[in-house]
């Protein structure tokens, strides 16, 4: 029998609420297997910072490294909360974890489940996965400001892209494409404007593609990609793109496939040199926090990705099936966060019989 040590970071807003349901479903999925989970809570986020002045200290980061995986809720203070500096929690907690733990693959599947409405009139059969780069691009935090607060201020942001960083994520995406029936890969960038980074991405994609002759490759500018995402999302199979374009296209993809409340993700370190981290794509939604009405589905589906990362494919599939069944039977009546979690956990347990 195996034991998984799981660090749990609920974070801010609805984060802890949805994570609690994820854990409920995790327990249900592992009951009857020989795998046990041991969770440790970490109180991190805007509230923790307000109380202690610490976002993520070195000792905590080192402790987190010792876990097998991290389940993450959401972070971010309320937009109006002027006590928290802009982006502090996002940069120094969430992005610090992604960068420090070398989560170079941010895996974001998009599937329009049966019975779920899309804002699109004719979405078609949507089932693709975005491989978003997680440790480079405009997210590195390089850049700065000069003459701050004056009329002569200049502020820069530097996007950093390396052959090393692009190759490993592109290779991962080709592996994903190889394992899927359509074996298709679309890479997204803005090569006609961002020519330095664009040339690098193009070269690496072409080099890696030579090792995967069975994969059909195409390219879209990010602006054109947003068009296809609403006119023909079924055209996508595997998408690979940089950190910022991946952020944008996955939110749009989430909206098109039934809402961001269903979008799950894994921040993956494929080399297993540090724990991977699983989190819903949605944010902390301070406007609905504390009311017990947030949809925990994305957190629960993130648990499914986590189970699969442990090789617990059967348990992961049971979670997916239970979610699909729950989604297809949702009516107009609004259930509480806990009620949704209970229902899915119950269905997962029933499926184990």
Catalytic residues: 139, 190, 223, 247, 251
Residue 50 touches its own copies, criterion: CB under 8 A = no
Element (H, E) at 203: helix 195-209
The two tokens of residue 69 are: 């995986």
For tokens 């000792």, name the residue.
59
Map the footprint of ligand IPM across residues 80-99, applying CB under 6 A.
Answer: 90, 94
Residue 224 binding: pick among its own copies, ligand IPM, none (C-beta 5-8 Å cut-off by kind): its own copies
Structural contact between residues 37 and 26, judged by C-beta atoms closer than 8 angstroms: yes
Closest CB to ligand IPM among residues 218, 223: 223
Residues 121-160, mask of contacts with ligand IPM (x by CB under 6 A): ----------------------------------------
193 binds ligand IPM (CB under 6 A): yes
Residue 140 tokens, joined: 């590195």
Tokens of 105: 């693959």
Q: Which of 84, 129, 281, 301 binds ligand IPM (CB under 6 A)?
A: 281
Q: CA 76, 82, 85 angle in degrees (round to 5)?
A: 60
Quote the tokens at residue 6.
Answer: 């799981």
- Among 22, 76, 254, 275, the residue binding ligand IPM under the rule CB under 6 A is 76
Residues 88-107 that bind its own copies (CB under 8 A): 90-91, 95
Answer yes or no whether residue 163 interacts with its own copies by CB under 8 A.
Answer: yes
Q: Applying CB under 8 A, does 114 fall inside the site for its own copies?
A: no
Nearer to its own copies, 31 or 293 (CB): 293
Cα(135)–Cα(336) distance, integer angstroms: 36
The interface mask with its own copies, positions 181-200, x = CB under 8 A, is: ---------xxxxxxxxxxx
Among 32, 66, 115, 119, binds its own copies (CB under 8 A): 119
Q: Which is nearer to ligand IPM, 68 or 92 (CB)?
A: 92
Residues contacting residue 323 through CB under 8 Å, at least 6 positions apart: 113, 297, 300, 301, 304, 344
Site for its own copies in 54-73 (CB under 8 A): none
Q: In angstroms, what is the minimal distance from the CB of 120 to its own copies?
A: 6
34, 51, 58, 151: which one binds its own copies (CB under 8 A): 151
3-state DSSP assignment of residue 14: coil
**Binders of its own copies in range 203-262 (CB under 8 A):** 203, 219, 222-224, 226-227, 229-231, 244, 247-248, 250-252, 254-256, 259-260
CB of 186 to its own copies, least distance (A): 13
Tokens of 188: 């997204």
Q: Which of 123, 346, 332, 94 is nearest to 236 (CA)?
A: 123
142 by Cβ neighbours in 10 Å (0-12 / 13-18 / 19+) ranks as exposed
3-state secondary structure of 110: strand
CB of 329 to ligand IPM, least distance (A): 29
Total residues at interface with ligand IPM (CB under 6 A): 9
The tokens for 206 are 């072409």
Nearest to ligand IPM by Cβ — which residue?
A: 90
- Nearest distance from C-beta of residue 167 to its own copies, angstroms: 8
C-alpha distances in Å from residue 347, one per residue of 28, 204, 219, 324: 9, 44, 41, 11
Burial class of residue 214 (count of CB atoms within 10 Å of its CB; 0-12, 13-18, 19+): exposed
3-state secondary structure of 228: helix
Q: Check if the beta carbon of residue 292 is closer than 8 Å to that of residue 334.
A: no
Beta-bridge mates of residue 238: 129, 185
Tokens of 28: 């249900």
Q: How far is the CB of 143 from its own copies (least distance, A)?
A: 5
- Is residue 109 a contact point for ligand IPM (CB under 6 A)? no
Q: Does 118 bind its own copies (CB under 8 A)?
A: yes
Residues in contact with ligand IPM by the rule CB under 6 A: 76, 90, 94, 192-193, 223, 247, 281, 283
């Amino acid at each position: 029998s195996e034991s998984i040590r799981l660090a749990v970071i609920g974070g801010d807003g609805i984060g802890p609420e949805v994570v609690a349901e994820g854990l409920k479903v995790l327990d249900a999925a592992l009951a009857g297997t020989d795998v046990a989970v041991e969770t440790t809570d970490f109180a991190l986020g805007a509230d923790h910072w307000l109380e202690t002045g610490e976002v993520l200290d070195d000792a905590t980061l080192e402790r987190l490294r010792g876990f097998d995986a991290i389940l993450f809720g959401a972070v971010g203070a309320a937009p109006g909360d002027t006590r928290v500096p802009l982006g502090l929690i996002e940069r120094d907690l969430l992005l610090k974890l992604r960068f420090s733990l070398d989560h170079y693959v941010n895996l974001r599947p998009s599937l329009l489940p049966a019975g779920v409405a899309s804002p699109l009139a004719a979405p078609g059969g949507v089932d693709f996965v975005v491989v978003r780069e997680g440790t480079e691009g405009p997210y590195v935090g390089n850049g700065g400001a000069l003459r701050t607060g004056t009329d002569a201020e200049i502020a820069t942001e530097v996007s950093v892209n390396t052959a090393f960083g692009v190759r490993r994520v592109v290779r991962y995406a080709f592996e994903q494409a190889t394992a899927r029936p359509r074996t298709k890969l679309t890479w997204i960038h803005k090569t006609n404007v961002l020519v330095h980074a664009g040339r690098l991405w193009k070269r690496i994609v072409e080099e890696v593609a030579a090792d995967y002759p069975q994969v059909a490759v195409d390219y879209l500018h990010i602006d054109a990609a947003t068009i296809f995402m609403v006119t023909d999302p079924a055209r996508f199979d595997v998408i690979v793109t940089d950190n910022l374009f991946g952020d944008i296209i996955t939110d749009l993809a989430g909206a098109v496939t039934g809402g961001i409340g269903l979008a799950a993700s894994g921040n993956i370190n494929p080399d297993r040199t540090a724990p991977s981290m699983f989190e819903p794509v949605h944010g902390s939604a301070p406007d609905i926090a504390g009311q017990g009405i947030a949809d925990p589905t994305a957190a629960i589906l993130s648990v499914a990705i986590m189970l699969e990362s442990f090789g617990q494919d059967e348990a992961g599939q049971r979670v997916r099936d239970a979610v699909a069944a729950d989604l297809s039977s949702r009516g107009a009546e609004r259930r509480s966060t806990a009620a949704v979690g209970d229902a899915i956990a119950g269905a997962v347990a029933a499926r184990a019989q």
